[in-house]
């Protein structure tokens, strides 16, 4: 039992070191369910949020949870058919408004870990987000969101598995 905990602590420590080298994954919220929100700014800055919640939430609900615990802010416009994300700012990076061409926030979704990014048929207001889902926001290009390299995602999954083991034993 003690050896297993020791191994878990060492592996988690290695995971944190590797994640820091590749770009931190920012954990927010509370609950047993997790979704990922990726934000790619026009200047090349990329941020990945691991959002914890219980049950389901919406695409906008992910932003609500992040804004409640971090300095991330959004500019939202409601045109009567749903709320539109018109601006996102975080850690000195900011993009707001339509600047012509592709210069606006593009919304992407992924409903299975390791799946493919897709353009959603609904907006963030109506998107139902469940455990394991991902949302991505990209400014200035219609390219799919840049995500952490697979090694970073594997380390995050290993950490989640360790947390599950710890919770089961409690």
0.85 cut: is pTM over it? Answer: no
pLDDT at 147: 74
What is the CA angle 146-150-152, rounded to 5? 90
10: left (phi over 0), alpha (psi -120 to 50) or beta: alpha
Confidence of residue 148 (pLDDT cuts 50, 70, 90): low
Residue 30 CB neighbour total at 10 angstroms: 11
pLDDT at 14: 35
Q: Is 153 helix (H, G, I), strand (E, B) or coil?
A: helix
Long-range contacts of 95-99 (CB under 8 A, 24+ apart): 95/41, 95/42, 95/139, 95/140, 99/140
If one compares 96 and 6, the residue with the highest pLDDT of the two is 96
Q: What are the tens digits of pLDDT across the range 85-123?
A: 999 999 999 999 988 899 999 999 999 988 999 999 999
Confidence of residue 50 (pLDDT cuts 50, 70, 90): very high
Confidence of residue 22 (pLDDT cuts 50, 70, 90): very low
- The yes-or-no verdict on residue 77 having pLDDT over 70 is yes
If one compares 168 and 140, the residue with the highest pLDDT of the two is 140
pLDDT at 155: 44
Residue 110 CB neighbour total at 10 angstroms: 22
How far, in Å, CA of 24 to CA of 91, rounded?
13
- The yes-or-no verdict on residue 153 having pLDDT over 90 is no
Confidence of residue 168 (pLDDT cuts 50, 70, 90): low
CATH architecture, domain 26-147: Beta Complex (2.170)
If one compares 86 and 157, the residue with the highest pLDDT of the two is 86
Arithmetic mean of pLDDT over the chain: 80
At 143, give phi and psi (nearest 5°): -65, 150
What is the CA angle 27-30-35, rounded to 5? 60
**What mean pLDDT comes out for the span 35-50?**
97
Tokens found for residue 59: 């695409």
């Amino acid at each position: 039992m003690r050896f297993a905990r020791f191994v878990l602590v060492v592996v988690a420590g290695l995971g944190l070191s590797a994640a820091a080298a590749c770009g931190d994954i920012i954990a927010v919220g509370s609950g047993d369910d997790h979704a990922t929100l990726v934000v790619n700014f026009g200047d090349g800055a990329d941020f990945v949020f691991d959002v914890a919640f219980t049950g389901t939430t919406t695409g906008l609900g992910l932003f609500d949870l992040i804004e409640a615990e971090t300095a991330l802010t959004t500019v939202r416009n409601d045109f009567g058919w749903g709320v539109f994300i018109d601006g996102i700012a975080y850690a000195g990076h900011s993009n707001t408004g339509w600047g012509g061409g592709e210069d606006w926030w593009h919304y992407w979704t992924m409903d299975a870990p390791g799946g493919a990014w897709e353009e959603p048929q609904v907006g963030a207001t109506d998107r139902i987000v469940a455990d394991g889902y991902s949302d991505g926001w990209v400014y200035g290009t219609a390219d799919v969101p840049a995500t952490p390299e697979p090694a970073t995602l594997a380390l995050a999954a290993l950490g989640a598995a360790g947390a599950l083991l710890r919770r089961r034993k409690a």
